[in-house]
Amino acid sequence: MRKLSIGSRLYLVIVFFILYAPIFYLIYYSFNSGGSMNEFESFTLEHYKAVFEDSRLIVILINTVIIALLSGLIATVIGTLGAIGIVSIKDKKMRNTLLSLNNVLIVSPDVVIGASFLILFTMIGVKLGFASVLVSHVAFSVPIVVLMVLPKLLEMNTSLIDAARDLGASKKDVLTRVILPYIQPGIFAGFFLALTYSLDDFAVTFFVTGNGFSTLSVEIYSMARAGITLTINAISGLVFLVTVLVVIGYYYFNNRAKLKNGEVRR
Amino acid sequence: MFNKASKGSLLPYVIWIALFVIAPIALVVYYSMLDLKGNFTLENYQAFFTPVYLKMTLTSFWYAFLITAFTLLIAYPTAYFLTKTTHKHLWLMLIIIPSWINLLLKTYAFIGLFGLYGPINAIVEVFGLEPQQILFTDFSFIFVSVYIFIPFMIIPIFNSLDKLNPTLVYAARDLGASSFTTFRRVIFPLTIDGVKSGIQVTFIPALSLFMITRLIAGNQVITLGTAIEQQFLVSQNWGMGSTIAVFLIIIMVVIMSVTGGQKKGGRIR
């Protein structure tokens, strides 16, 4: 490859700077003993302490994580089974219909999803709160799992299944010992994306959450509407740390999986 | 092929589609035809075609267009230069990380950055200008939205640029095309799919954003999304909210059919 010119390097540097500056700005002022994001008085950890001492905030954090993990897990099961089901459909028209229905929630604006789910839950009589938020998160995570698993299934050589059947494997064996291990990276990626969707979601949750229940995004929104609180900055610091750790963890796992499959040869 | 038994695995998925894809859309359409008392009416649609709502729809479109255009303008060169770096996937990863930080937190950062006594105004003062209110303006709304969408635009463009066979570029250059012509006639047409999906993931959300307008533009900017939120959660007028949602869905379908499809086959020319 040719070397990048000075101009294009500079361009990239500026883009990276703009992308990261707001995040580091937040984290920098999370250590500020003054109450604002304008003048740095002195170093303090009091805002981090405030986060951990605020039991309401801790409950919200735990809620957010539980919702993300549970919805990710359920969506991964439904999505993976759905993807296997879609592949088994021979009728091309029906397969395409299912696939376009699958994409509806991915491209739909959050507000529309949130509003329509609000109507749905009110009609069925689901109480707004933990259950409605969990169900909505499962609902909008399923299609992304399907999209992650589907390519893996399509690239799978079907003679593997025939071979397993010929060698006397039961249908269950085929699923658990042939198909699932093969599509495992897709499942893993789907679960991971479902997690990030859930953690990042604000609009849908905002619509379907009741008075008593809140996730981190909704809480930050109401805090930010009230003005600047350095507690939010401390939360950003923690969120950034967790994000970076998750990214590193994801890469570590991915590389190990690749090494195990012999895809990476050095 | 996959045996018939795996069709049973479709059941939960099909139930999911029925409950959370088909039912919600049907309900939105149904509610759009109800007035505040729950009577069947087309009033909401009449209301939508009054100047108030039409103007709102147009401004919402204009903002979404500006946001998408600026995002594309910044993201395309970034993606292009990224594919030329030595550890391109590592750099792409670094572009993606900010997109995983909670949207609300990033938006909140700009409340501080753009504030009257914030760092941006401090820089403005160094140049001898009066500090001014940057928050609650069109500019701040568009800037923050572009900031939020840049990574989502870069990813699909990067992927399509990455797939581009470099020998095509060399061939064009060898045959005497200038670098601009190479870009216009070879690189851009071959990466148009990436651009299209980038536009999809930017334009539709840009129409429906409501937290950025609330936090950054302080009710100065009303998008379709803000209006829906307003009708549903503030005015409690679900009928009107649903009507706007119906139009948002229609717009979405139109955009999808314009930017999607025809990924196979050669260009017709």
Architecture category of domain B50-259 in CATH: Orthogonal Bundle (1.10)
Mean predicted lDDT score pLDDT of chain A: 88
Q: What is the pLDDT of residue A266?
A: 37
Q: At what angle do helices A130-155 and A110-124 cross, to 10 degrees?
A: 120
User: In chain B, which residues have their Cβ closer than 8 Å to the Cβ of A111?
Assistant: 208, 210, 224-225, 228-229, 245, 248
pTM of whole model > 0.95? no
User: In chain B, which residues have their Cβ closer than 8 Å to the Cβ of A85?
Assistant: 6-11, 13-14
Out of A38, A123, A225, the one facing B118 most closely (by C-beta) is: A38
**What radius of gyration do chain B's Cα atoms show?**
23
- Averaged over B169-182, what is the pLDDT? 90
- Return the percentage of chain A with pLDDT > 90, whole number: 53
Q: What is the pLDDT of residue B227?
A: 92
Residue-wise pLDDT tens digits, A176-221: 888 899 999 899 989 988 998 898 899 999 999 988 899 999 999 9
User: In chain A, which residues have their Cβ closer than 8 Å to the Cβ of B20?
Assistant: 105, 117, 120, 139-140, 142
Q: Where are the domains of chain B?
A: 50-259
Out of A25, A85, A217, the one facing B104 most closely (by C-beta) is: A217
Q: What is the pLDDT of residue B263?
A: 45
Selected for mutation to probe chain A from B28, B29, B104 (highest A CB count within 10 Å) is B104
Give the CA angle between residues B168, B169, B170 to the nearest 5°.
90
Phi-psi domain of B19 (left: phi exceeds 0; alpha: psi -120 through 50; beta: other): alpha
User: In chain B, which residues have their Cβ closer than 8 Å to the Cβ of A118?
Assistant: 232
User: In chain A, which residues have their Cβ closer than 8 Å to the Cβ of B27?
Assistant: 116, 119-120, 123
Interchain pair B16, A113: CB under 8 A = no
Residue-wise pLDDT tens digits, A46-64: 999 999 999 999 999 999 9
Interface check B26 vs A, CB under 8 A: no
Domains by residue range for chain A, with CATH: 25-260 (1.10.3720.10)
- Closest residue on chain B to A209 (Cα): B233
Out of B118-122, B182-186, B202-206, pick the least confident.
Answer: B118-122
User: In chain A, which residues have their Cβ closer than 8 Å to the Cβ of B11?
Assistant: 85
- Closest residue on chain A to B198 (Cα): A107
